[in-house]
Amino acid sequence: MFTPRLIGRVRSPYTETKKIPKGPGAKHDAEGTLEILPEFEAGLSDIEGFSHLFVLWMFDRSEGFELMGTPPIDNRPHGVFATRSPRRPNPIGLTVVENLRREGPVLHVRGVDMLDGTPILDIKPYLSNIPQESLRRGWLAEAESRANRSGN
């Protein structure tokens, strides 16, 4: 395989996992920064033109993995590849952020859901959407609808 390389760190308002909004209707509008290491700064050239970015990062405060787990939003277990659980065979997280502005090696972004200090692995431009009418959200839609019916 390959040896993962640190390209920078996330600065976020979240210092504890339990403070990150989760569950039905959770809003991810927290602002933070992506601080890229000086030796990778040239790789940010022309990134300003993209409104949204994929950030690939490492779940560095999670240990091991489990193939089935019960997410905070549900009371039923689901396969890890059908969830966003941090306890994955490869502890890689993926977040779509809004690209607000760049100051040299620092990207100011909206929509961080990572812990402060999280290692960044990669940044990619977000290029296109799936047509909204063709999107199905599986067990998550069912869990949300149960939560709404029970008045949560």
Number of alpha carbons in the 13 Å side-chain half-sphere of residue 119: 12
Which of 49, 64, 75, 103 touches a copy of itself by CB under 8 A? 49
Measured between its terminal Cα atoms, the distance across the chain in Å is 44
In the complex, the smallest distance separating the C-beta of residue 13 from a copy of itself, rounded to whole angstroms, is 22
Query: Distance between CA 34 and CA 104 in Å, rounded?
Result: 11
Based on the shown chain and the rule CB under 8 A, indicate whether residue 110 belongs to the binding site for a copy of itself: no
Between strands 8-11 and 31-36, the pairing is antiparallel
Query: Distance between CA 105 and CA 113 in Å, rounded?
Result: 20
Residues from 9 through 48 that contact a copy of itself (CB under 8 A): 36, 40, 42-48
Query: Distance between CA 12 and CA 31 in Å, rounded?
Result: 7
Which CB, 71 or 151, lies closer to a copy of itself? 71
Burial class for 106, CB neighbours closer than 10 Å (0-12, 13-18, 19+): middle
In the complex, the smallest distance separating the C-beta of residue 15 from a copy of itself, rounded to whole angstroms, is 21
Residues from 120 through 139 that contact a copy of itself (CB under 8 A): 121-130, 132, 134-139
In the complex, the smallest distance separating the C-beta of residue 111 from a copy of itself, rounded to whole angstroms, is 10
Residues that bind a copy of itself (CB under 8 A): 1-7, 36, 40, 42-54, 56, 58, 67-68, 77-84, 88-92, 94, 96, 98, 119, 121-130, 132, 134-142
